[in-house]
Amino acid sequence: MRRRPQALALLALVACLAAAGVTAQEAPPPPCGGAEYRQFDFWIGAWDVAGADGTPQGTNRIEPILGGCVLRESWAGAGGSEGHSFNLFDRQTGRWHQTWVDNSGLLLVIEGGLDEDGAMVLSGTGKTRAGAALFHRITWTPLADGRVRQHWQTSTDGEAWSDAFLGFYSRQPGAAEGAAESAGEGGG
Position 16 pLDDT exceeds 90: no
CATH architecture of 35-183: Beta Barrel (2.40)
- Cβ atoms of 58 and 80 closer than 8 Å: no
The SS3 of residue 145 is: coil
* Domain assignments of the chain as residue spans, ordered by start: 35-183
Sign of CA dihedral 115, 140, 184, 29: negative
- The whole-model pTM stands at 0.79
What is the tens place of the pLDDT at every residue in 148-188? 999 999 999 999 999 999 999 999 998 766 544 444 444 44
The SS3 of residue 10 is: helix
pLDDT at res. 14 = 57
